Amino acid sequence: MTQPVPMTELWRGPMLESLHLGHAVICDDVGRIVRSWGNPEAVVYPRSSAKMIQALPLITSGAAAKFGLTSEHLALACASHSGAAIHTDRVYAWLDHLGLAEPDLRCGPQEPQDMAARDGLILADDTPCQIHNNCSGKHCGFLTLSQHMGAGPEYLEIDHPVQQACLSALEETAGETSRGYGIDGCSAPNFSVSLAGLARSMAWFASAADRSDRASDAALQLTAAMVKHPELVAGETRACTELMRAMDGRAAIKTGAEAVFVAIIPERRLGVALKIADGATRASECAIAAILVNLGVLEADHPATRKFMNATQYSRRGLECGILKPAPGFPD
């Protein structure tokens, strides 16, 4: 099967209103595909789902230890945060710790997703800055690594040592050579990878406790930071935060733009990667929840699960009008 398959349906009343197709892969600790839907070799941009991979050199280089980074810093390095005060306060402090400031970032300004932060800017007649960018934690990680390497300030250039380290981390953990790169929303290079390769990388993270090398220790630290601080990885009401809380540390998950989602499941030594073909985030959130339920690490009836899978749809007046649910046969 090389074509995407039905994964998520939206019903309104008695009619199927929307259907989302996609690809998904589950790999085990030796990189074997144990299950797939659609085309496991589909090549994608992992977008922000690759932030854990991009953060590996931050630790393996010795930069994290040199600058005394905590689990909160590591969670932010993996984050697509909402720009709430709990995120921006920590990013400001991280930059200050490096002796840097907001202009040293290269991610660009972004309106915060967090409503309180957004309203605060409006009331203060202020505008968003780069600190509010959902990727500012990752960029702080890039700056930390660049300082440690003694490299230049333009850390997003493709031949910069920081980006070459990120490329090496992806290729080594995915077990394949990237076919190229595109520019992500935060202006950083985003290297392409097959879904199978992305799932292999997540399985490599999931099985890190079985190994004793420096990279595997870094993977353990990053996974632990994500599940310890789910509120820093995304934010309140967000799927990554709410579903990780619901799983109580059993898995780390991460979304990426254009409906990419990955999961690291240490107790099963499994890695998951999926991509919804039309880029609909609601569909990727439903699909990852369905896979996690199927794998036994997420309860189907948990309130957080029901927000994203088998989720009742309401009108503006609060009337039940539909449901968002997995397509028949997926992922069974």
Domain boundaries, the chain: 5-326
Joined together, the tokens standing for residue 249 give: 């540390």
Q: What is the rounded CA–CA span in Å between residue 42 and residue 134?
A: 27
Start-to-end CA span in the chain (Å): 16
pLDDT tens per residue, range 107-154:
999 999 999 999 999 999 999 999 999 999 999 999 999 999 999 999
CA separation for the pair 49, 77 (Å, rounded): 12
CA gap 175, 317 in Å, rounded: 51
Contact (CB, 8 A) for 201 and 254: no
181-183 and 189-191 as β-strands: parallel, antiparallel, unpaired?
A: antiparallel
CB within 8 A of 54, min separation 6: which ones?
77, 138, 141, 142, 166, 169, 170
Please give the pLDDT value at position 308: 98
326: left (phi over 0), alpha (psi -120 to 50) or beta: beta
What are the two backbone dihedrals, phi and then psi, of residue 9, each rounded to the nearest 5 degrees?
-120, 145
Residues of the chain with pLDDT under 50: none
- Helices within the chain (DSSP H only): 51-60, 63-66, 71-77, 85-97, 115-123, 136-149, 161-174, 195-206, 214-228, 230-233, 239-247, 281-294, 303-308
**252-286 b/e with 16+ CB inside 10 Å = b?**
bbbbbbbbbbbbbbbebbbbbbbbbbeebbbbbbb
Cα–Cα distance for residue pair 106/114, rounded to 1 Å: 21
State residue 1's pLDDT score.
64
- The confidence score (pLDDT) of residue 2 equals 87
Interval 21-70: pLDDT, tens: 999 999 999 999 999 999 999 999 999 999 999 999 999 999 999 999 99
What pTM was computed for the model? 0.97
Indicate the burial class of 201 (C-beta count within 10 angstroms; 0-12, 13-18, 19 or more): buried
pLDDT value, residue 295: 98
Pairs from 129-133 (Cβ < 8 Å, separation ≥ 24): 129/102, 130/102, 130/103, 130/105, 130/106, 131/83, 131/88, 131/91, 131/92, 131/95, 131/102, 131/105, 132/83, 132/88, 133/83, 133/105, 133/107, 133/108, 133/109, 133/186
User: What is the third-level CATH fold of 5-326?
Assistant: Beta-lactamase (3.40.710)
pLDDT averaged over every residue in the chain: 98
Q: Exposed, middle or buried by CB within 10 Å (0-12, 13-18, 19+), for 320? A: exposed
